[in-house]
Amino acid sequence: MRTHLELNRLRNHLEALVEERTAELKQSEKKLKANLLDSIAALAATVEMRDPYTAGHQQRVAHLAVAIAQEMKLPEAQIESIHLASIIHDVGKINIPVEILSKPGRLNEIEFSLIKYHPQSGYEILKNIQFPWPIAQIVLQHHERLDGGGYPQGLKGEAILLEARIIAVADTVEAMASHRPYRPGLGIDAALEEIARCRGTKLDAQAVDACIVLFKERGYVIKK
């Protein structure tokens, strides 16, 4: 009887310790996640302070990319990685001179080559940060295209991470629909026509389909 009582006491004590430790770990995870989000928000804000014309661009792309991923019924953890990567997908533009980012006319070859380097630059900034997802690789690949015509690596098809393929669709739509220094916004209809034209050749077919459904059937509107 004493042994049985002692075993029950120890079991109850162990369960209490496990519950306490679990609560501590959840609280610690919550703080780490909050710090991670704060760091990412700071990086995003740094880019946008240098380039007023694309202020809010990353947040709008993130919102749309998440909506596309949800329409595709992706797992929650994968959607979260898309959200975080989208918010800082243009962080590499920190290294591009402001006069190039805000140039009202057409970029020359040298200027465009600097613009094309921003995914690689973003990767270099992020590669040593211990994210729970491949954020640096997603940022590196967000301008890759299925046919190999993207940059910086010229990856093709499935070699491009799905997260990067989704961000590519959201980025294309937001960029075309919004005002830029070198042209006025072309509108959402033109943006949807463009991604439909590139469906399955340059842009991921499932991501394009989900994006079109959002705008044409779900009443999605790009956040201002």
Q: Report the pLDDT averaged over residues 107-122.
A: 93
Q: Is the pLDDT of residue 6 over 70?
A: no
Kindly report which listed range (27-31, 70-74, 81-85, 170-174) carries the lowest average pLDDT score.
Answer: 27-31
- How far apart are alpha carbons 8 and 220 in whole angstroms? 57
User: Within 10 Å of residue 32's Cβ, how many Cβ atoms?
Assistant: 11
Query: HSE-up of 135 (CA within 13 Å, CB side)?
Result: 26
Q: Is the pLDDT of residue 24 over 90?
A: no
Q: What are phi and psi of 156, to 5 degrees?
A: -125, 150
Q: Is the pLDDT of residue 28 over 70?
A: no
Q: Report the pLDDT averaged over residues 186-198.
A: 96
- How far apart are alpha carbons 103 and 29 in whole angstroms? 43
pLDDT in tens, 43-99: 777 777 777 666 689 999 999 999 999 999 999 999 999 999 999 999 999 888 888
- Fold assignment, 2-216: Hypothetical protein af1432 (1.10.3210)
- Block residue for tokens 């994006």: 211
Query: Predicted confidence band at 38 (pLDDT cuts at 50, 70, 90)?
Result: confident
pLDDT in tens, 124-164: 999 988 888 999 999 999 999 999 999 999 999 999 999 99
Q: Is the pLDDT of residue 215 over 90?
A: yes
Each domain of the chain, given as residue ranges in start order, spans 2-216
Taking alpha carbons only, the member of 44, 57, 56, 48 closest to residue 170 is 57
3-state helix, strand, coil in the chain (%, to 5): 70, 5, 30
| SS3 category, 220 | coil
pTM (predicted TM-score): 0.84
Q: Label each residue of the chain as H, E or C.
A: CHHHHHHHHHHHHHHHHHHHHHHHHHHHHHHHHHHHHHHHHHHHHHHHHHCHHHCCHHHHHHHHHHHHHHHCCCCHHHHHHHHHHHHCCCHHHHHCCHHHHCCCCCCCHHHHHHHHCHHHHHHHHHCCCCCCCCHHHHHHHCCCCCECCCCCCCCEHHHCCHHHHHHHHHHHHHHHHCCECCECCCCHHHHHHHHHHCECCCECHHHHHHHHHHHHCCCCCCCC
